Structure formats: structure tokens, C-alpha cells
């Protein structure tokens, strides 16, 4: 099963990030990871949550424009160079990395997670698996 990320369009003004985080918190949605990119007027907040459908429902009910995208998640050692190694595996013809972000694991094995969106999803998952880097499912990403 593929992993879904929610992208939320928010105004680039004081308090916007706090407000959307509070809306999600009030709805019982736990943020596992987030990334934000901004322009002068608007930002795109990208989040990983356990219940994507619930998050989207809450956000839309509160007037936010959002959409879901399929992303890839991999577990990597929490050490210098680990992300570069993964990027070298997926740097092949037919795969273009649109963006990536990483976050620390809650596990005790000194690992981190990397999320990235690519064009060429099938090719990317194929080369990652061939290199022994498993693509994580949502269940694996949220396993305690």
C-alpha cells in the first residue's frame, strides 16, 4: 500500500501554521512529519499523518484547500551520508525527485525516515528494492 501525504495551501502570514496545526489537533490528528515551502503570499504545508482521510475531511471542513499525493518513505540509518546514498540509488533515468524531507524515527534503532515525491514512482520503488532499501507502507511507518 502506498503512502499518502496531505498538501495544504496556507497564507504566508503570522499564525497560519499555528492555526492549521490547531485545527488538526482539535480533530485528533497527530502529525508525524511536516515540511513547509513558502512564497511571498502562500505556502504549501506537506504533512504525513496516520489517518489521511480524516485529516483531509477536517481541513476541508475548516476551509482549507488541500490534496493528497503518493510519496515514498524509506527508513535510513541516522548518520551522515545515508540520505545521499538513497538519492544515488534513485538517481536513474525515468525518476525525477520533486522534493524530499527527512525526520527522526521514534524507534530505538537510530534510524530516520525520508519522504520523497518522485515522478516515476514505479521505477523508483523498483530500484530502491533492488538496492535493498525497502519502501515503507503506512503501517510500517506508524508501527510503534
* pLDDT at site 39: 78
Question: Does 9 have pLDDT greater than 90?
Answer: yes
Q: Are 3 and 137 in contact (CB under 8 A)?
A: yes
Contacts of 87 (CB under 8 A, 6+ apart): 97, 100
Measure the N-to-C terminal CA separation of the chain; round to a whole number of Å.
18
Q: Per-residue pLDDT tens for 58-101?
A: 999 999 999 999 999 998 888 899 889 999 999 999 999 999 98
Q: What are phi and psi of 54, to 5 degrees?
A: -65, -45
The pTM assigned to this predicted structure is 0.86
d(CA 52, CA 50): 6
Instruction: Kindly tell me if the per-residue pLDDT of 32 is higher than 90.
Output: no
Amino acid at each position: 500500500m502506498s503512502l499518502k501525504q496531505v498538501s495544504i495551501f496556507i497564507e504566508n502570514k503570522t499564525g497560519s501554521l499555528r492555526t492549521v496545526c490547531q485545527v488538526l489537533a482539535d480533530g485528533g490528528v497527530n502529525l508525524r512529519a511536516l515540511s513547509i515551502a513558502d512564497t511571498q503570499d502562500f505556502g504549501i504545508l506537506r504533512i504525513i499523518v496516520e489517518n489521511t482521510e480524516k485529516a483531509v475531511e477536517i481541513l476541508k471542513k475548516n476551509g482549507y484547500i488541500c490534496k493528497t499525493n503518493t510519496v515514498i518513505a524509506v527508513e535510513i540509518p541516522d548518520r551522515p551520508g545515508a540520505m545521499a546514498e538513497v538519492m544515488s540509488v534513485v538517481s536513474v533515468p525515468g525518476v525525477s525527485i520533486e522534493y524530499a524531507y527527512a525526520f527522526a524515527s521514534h524507534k530505538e534503532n537510530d534510524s530516520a525516515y525520508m519522504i520523497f515525491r518522485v515522478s516515476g514512482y514505479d521505477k523508483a520503488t523498483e530500484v530502491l528494492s533492488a538496492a535493498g532499501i525497502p519502501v515503507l507502507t503506512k503501517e510500517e511507518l506508524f508501527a510503534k
